[in-house]
A and B are shown apart, each in its own frame.
Chain A
Amino acid sequence: MKSRKAMVLALTASMAASLAAGCGSSGGGKSASSASNAASTSGSASGSGKVYYLNFKPEADEYWQELAKEYTDETGVKVTVLTAASGEYESTLKSEMAKSEAPTLFQVNGPVGLASWKDYCYDLSGSDIEGQLTDKAYELKDGDKVAGIAYVTEAYGLITNKALLEKAGYSSDDIKSFDDLKKVAEDITARKSELGFSAFTSAGMDSSSDWRFKTHLANLPIYYEYKADGVDDKDELKGTYLQNYRDIWDLYINNSTTDPSQLSTATGDQAESEFVNQEAVFFQNGTWEYDKVKAIGDDNLDFLPIYFGVDDANEGLCMGTENYWCVNSKASEEDIKATLDFMNWCVTSDKGVEAMTSSDKMGFNIPFKSNPESQNTLFKLANANKGTPVSWNFSTMPSEEWKNTLGQALTVYAADQTDGNWDLVKQAFVDNWKTEKELAASAS
């Protein structure tokens, strides 16, 4: 009898234990790894703090992990890097921040992202890393507080295949304005069967590609409207430059590899492979695509501004950032200190700079004094461009909902290019901007 009781007890205990283990696995894993880490670096004097970085860029994950390990080996400070899946950053951040072991280093995409995280942002003014910035414009401010610091700058425009352009009888010097671009593109389309390629890659509106148009291309009409009014954000848009937006969108969809009615399911990979496989001359994308498009050869690449028909003589590439590092103000003081040291090390030490900028690794252009000359051809081309850079204003777009609605309106219009359908785009652009801005204001 007694032995049976004991067995029952043992069984239930083991059941309960397995349950507890199942629930607490993440915590257990972390403490285990920190223990091993402490063992490997015992003897190092520096810092009791630790760093937990929630990384935004999946393509850079591998290099951040390596860099974290090197830093730990060098200084003994534990660095954990977690990377959110593509498109899952906000939701991952929300759940990670609620944990007791919250990220000490995270990122926001600009003013709109900052609105939801401003209570978590440590004031970076006067920090070492702030001193490393080449330009104060790379600071993200919340009042007087420096809430975030950009750690990478990027540029986008029309990536161009020079060889194909020459085959069609033009060179990139022939394209100096929207009208030139239109003439070249329409000529290529007219001789499409003879030439064997199209002017533009498919303007895919699948979610893997639609950000190129609902966000990046939509930046241009917003940029020019802000510029005309001398502001950097607005509660209501007039949509002054929507006709230009329509003109260039028409050009993209009617001179591409793909029938406009099929764009709703065309993907980003599709556009990329069309460009790499010499099926199209122009590809609207940015410096981050270099790794993919270098397949056509560095000498073959050119990087043209998206001529918008407003101020073509000065049109430059769209340069900016939507990646700001923020330090979690709710972390312990030691952890904040450790995080600031880690950030500073990343952008000043040889190893850190090499990992962040080398084209074999992250390949970033970093806005810090240590930034070497870029090995990214698209970046070189962007820096060589004489035009006025178009700033990235899409961080002021009111919400993801605004972008999504605009994207769907563009898709509907592409399939049936009537004025009525363009009115949908207008509504999504102008009216919905006001609605979404009001909603955002009501929530804050």
Chain B
Amino acid sequence: MRAIKKYWPIFLIPTMAAFAIGFVIPFILGIYLSFTKFTTVTDAKWVGIKNYATAFKDSTFTHSFWFTAAFAVVTLILINVIAFALAMALTKKRRGTNVFRTVFFMPNLIGGIVLGYIWQLIFSGILVHFNTALNLNAKLGFWGLVILVCWQQIGYMMIIYIAGFQSIPGDVLEAAEIDGANARQTLFKVTIPMMMPSITICTFLTITNGFKLFDQNLALTAGAPMKQTEMMALNIYNTFYGRTGFEGVGQAKAVIFFLLVVAIAALQQKLTRSKEVQQ
């Protein structure tokens, strides 16, 4: 104990320094820059809330918010329902479950940009028969993104759900069976309540991933047509680099975006946490 009291800085400082350099300082600097006009981060001029005013007036930003919100909700539901179902199927004692687990997990190992281009080829190959393309129609773009992200993330969420299933004590399920619960009742009254910790994690990951999506968006549609499929992260990027003198506005949007994601994630945590039960 005495040793810890004496030497705590040795253990703490390297990590704290890394945390400060890699996160705290850039974060504070970022908030500061959102109130300034700057070309490089070292010569910023204070302009107050002007950047925020411009950001809120920008109709593409509001559009990207609604597009992103719709996307996040759709992927939240699809990914979690499918991943849950797959996890349930793959924890049954059948032959080849390991092979299938690997197969479903694999897409998650490919980077977003690469995935975006691969899927663009696939979609183009199909849509050419219908005389259209993904970046000509916002609806197609939306569903293209949904398919891509589902394909990528279902495997990952499935692994978390599998771990959850394996930690459900067998006696609870056995008790339910003895009490005469049917499969449906077991699922909704026993399994899902027991799975709530996994559900909390997975919904948190999918909803924040949905909001933060960037590389897949950039590679698959790049916002075409006419910014109709531009999501918030891409909108911020385009604001930052697309116009002269808009670095501060992009930064202000990034701060708004951060607050939004935090608020949504907090709400989601509150909702799912309250449903968790003690095992």
Residues of A bordering B, CB below 8 Å: 8-9, 12, 15-16, 19, 23, 90-91, 94-95, 97-98, 112-113, 115-117, 119-120, 207, 259, 261-262, 264-265, 398-401, 404-405, 408-409, 411-412, 415-416, 424, 428, 436, 439-440, 442-444
A interface footprint on B199-225 (CB within 8 Å = 1, 0 otherwise) = 000000000000000000000001111
Q: Which residues of B contact A416 (CB under 8 A)?
A: 136
Q: Which residues of A contact B17 (CB under 8 A)?
A: 16, 19
Give which listed residue, A112, A116, A262, A404, contacts B39 with CB less than 8 A: A116
Would you call B43 and A399 a contact (CB within 8 A)?
A: no
Q: Which residues of B contact A23 (CB under 8 A)?
A: 21
Known: A19-B17, A439-B243, A442-B54. A94 touches B40 (CB 8 A): yes
Would you call B244 and A444 a contact (CB within 8 A)?
A: yes
Would you call A264 and B133 a contact (CB within 8 A)?
A: yes
Would you call B251 an interface residue if the criterion is a C-beta within 8 Å of the partner chain's C-beta atoms?
Answer: no
Would you call A19 and B14 a contact (CB within 8 A)?
A: yes
Would you call B224 and A261 a contact (CB within 8 A)?
A: no
A-B contact pairs, 30 of them (CB 8 A): A12-B10, A16-B14, A19-B17, A94-B41, A95-B40, A97-B39, A97-B42, A98-B40, A115-B245, A117-B39, A120-B39, A207-B222, A259-B131, A261-B131, A262-B128, A262-B133, A264-B135, A264-B224, A265-B135, A399-B244, A400-B241, A404-B242, A405-B226, A405-B227, A412-B136, A428-B226, A439-B243, A439-B246, A442-B54, A443-B246
Would you call B136 and A19 a contact (CB within 8 A)?
A: no
- Which of B11, B13, B42, B226: most chain A Cβ within 10 A? B226
Q: Which residues of B contact A91 (CB under 8 A)?
A: 241
Q: Which residues of A contact B225 (CB under 8 A)?
A: 408-409, 411-412
For residue A349, give the distance in angstroms from its CB to the closest CB of chain B: 33
Give bound CA distance, A94 to B39, whole Å.
7
Give bound CA distance, A439 to B59, whole Å.
13
Give bound CA distance, A176 to B118, whole Å.
44
For residue A433, give the distance in angstroms from its CB to the closest CB of chain B: 13
- Across the interface, name the chain A residue whose C-beta is closest to B246: A443
Would you call B10 and A408 a contact (CB within 8 A)?
A: no
Would you call A98 and B42 a contact (CB within 8 A)?
A: yes
Supply 13 further A-B pairs (C-beta < 8 A) apart from A405-B226, A439-B54.
Answer: A19-B17, A115-B245, A265-B133, A400-B241, A400-B242, A400-B243, A401-B243, A408-B224, A409-B226, A415-B132, A439-B246, A440-B245, A443-B243
Would you call B136 and A415 a contact (CB within 8 A)?
A: yes
Give bound CA distance, A299 to B18, whole Å.
62
Would you call B39 and A424 a contact (CB within 8 A)?
A: no
Give which listed residue, A16, A95, A443, contacts B245 with CB less than 8 A: A443
Would you call A401 and B133 a contact (CB within 8 A)?
A: no
For residue A442, give the distance in angstroms from its CB to the closest CB of chain B: 7
Would you call B75 an interface residue if the criterion is a C-beta within 8 Å of the partner chain's C-beta atoms?
Answer: no
Would you call A261 and B132 a contact (CB within 8 A)?
A: yes
Would you call B34 an interface residue if the criterion is a C-beta within 8 Å of the partner chain's C-beta atoms?
Answer: no
For residue A169, give the distance in angstroms from its CB to the closest CB of chain B: 32
Would you call B242 and A440 a contact (CB within 8 A)?
A: no
Would you call A265 and B124 a contact (CB within 8 A)?
A: yes
Q: Which residues of B contact A404 (CB under 8 A)?
A: 223, 238, 242
For residue A420, give the distance in angstroms from its CB to the closest CB of chain B: 13
Would you call B226 and A412 a contact (CB within 8 A)?
A: yes
Give bound CA distance, A12 to B10, whole Å.
7
Would you call B253 an interface residue if the criterion is a C-beta within 8 Å of the partner chain's C-beta atoms?
Answer: no
A interface footprint on B101-144 (CB within 8 Å = 1, 0 otherwise) = 00000000000000000001000100010011111100000000
Q: Which residues of A contact B243 (CB under 8 A)?
A: 398-401, 436, 439-440, 443
Give bound CA distance, A428 to B227, whole Å.
12
Would you call B11 and A443 a contact (CB within 8 A)?
A: no
Q: Which residues of B contact A98 (CB under 8 A)?
A: 40-42
For residue B174, give the distance in angstroms from its CB to the closest CB of chain A: 50
- Across the interface, name the chain B residue whose C-beta is closest to A17: B14
Give bound CA distance, A442 to B244, whole Å.
10
| Top 9 closest pairs, chain A to chain B, by CB | A443-B245, A98-B40, A399-B243, A401-B242, A97-B40, A400-B242, A116-B244, A264-B133, A12-B10
Give which listed residue, A15, A207, A259, A401, contacts B238 with CB less than 8 A: A401
For residue B122, give the distance in angstroms from its CB to the closest CB of chain A: 12
Known: A98-B42, A117-B39, A265-B124. A443 touches B132 (CB 8 A): no
Q: Which residues of B contact A261 (CB under 8 A)?
A: 128, 131-133, 136
Would you call B249 and A443 a contact (CB within 8 A)?
A: yes
Give bound CA distance, A91 to B241, whole Å.
7
For residue A117, give the distance in angstroms from its CB to the closest CB of chain B: 7
Q: Which residues of A contact B222 (CB under 8 A)?
A: 207
For residue A393, give the distance in angstroms from its CB to the closest CB of chain B: 17
Would you call B242 and A399 a contact (CB within 8 A)?
A: yes
- Across the interface, name the chain B residue whose C-beta is closest to A120: B39
Would you call B241 and A408 a contact (CB within 8 A)?
A: no
Give bound CA distance, A439 to B132, whole Å.
34
A interface footprint on B163-183 (CB within 8 Å = 1, 0 otherwise) = 000000000000000000000
Give bound CA distance, A416 to B132, whole Å.
9
Would you call B23 an interface residue if the criterion is a C-beta within 8 Å of the partner chain's C-beta atoms?
Answer: no
Would you call B136 and A444 a contact (CB within 8 A)?
A: no
Would you call B188 an interface residue if the criterion is a C-beta within 8 Å of the partner chain's C-beta atoms?
Answer: no
For residue A86, give the distance in angstroms from its CB to the closest CB of chain B: 14
- Across the interface, name the chain A residue whose C-beta is closest to B226: A408
- Across the interface, name the chain A residue whose C-beta is closest to B11: A12
